[in-house]
Structure 1
Amino acid sequence: MKIDDYNLTNDAKFLLSSMYKEYLERRQNNTDKSKARLFDDIENIQEIMTEWSHGDILDTCSELRRKKLINAIPASDTLLNISLTTDAISLLEVSFKDKIDNVLEYATKIKSLIPFI
């Protein structure tokens, strides 16, 4: 199964591919897998998704959490301890073959389908 087969909104595909790109860059810098998957909270994700509001990131992370592609702990109007699941990593490995160029190309394509970004 690939990312496009997973019944996600374009927002979720874009966020997930952006998080995976960050994961790959961290791994290339010799970060341990468990730390490379960790994004902590919405504010840290907002550093990657600079054009998105806190609410949009929260809503999209909630979608990814329901699909079991990220782990997160719900808190008061936020999520904490956000991390990619190993299932998400596996799905993205099949989709992009661990190549950042493939991820960037896909993210650019998906971003163009989101009219408000």
Structure 2
Amino acid sequence: MVTETLQADDEQACALAAEQAKEPRDQIRSYIAAHAPKSEVDRITDYLLLNLRGLSAYARLGDTQKKLNDCARTAGPPLKESLLVGHLERDRTLDPLIISVLRELQGLTTR
């Protein structure tokens, strides 16, 4: 509903919707920042928000729960891999070579 209101002709409604959207967006970004490589936080946040808004839009259009679940399953693995690599980078006990190999594997799966 907030996404739809952001497109409204009413400036006051748009401003209120933008304010309502800020806190959840910031919470998502903070979570991602705690789990992803710093250089990837904005990209991953955008990816997640784009997918959430897209799923929400298609749900409002009446798509089936099965279709929405299938789309979410498709979008999930790249997100999981990005967060896994970020988590591993923060683990100081892992060898940097292992981390670089994981990064390369991540790149191969997202191409």
Q: TM-score range by the shorter chain?
A: 0.3 to 0.5
TM-score (structure 2 length as normaliser) = 0.36
Query: More strand per residue: 1 or 2?
Result: 1
Report the structure, 1 or 2, having the larger helix content: 2
Larger Rg: 2
Q: Which has the higher contact order (CA 8 A, sep 6+)?
A: 1
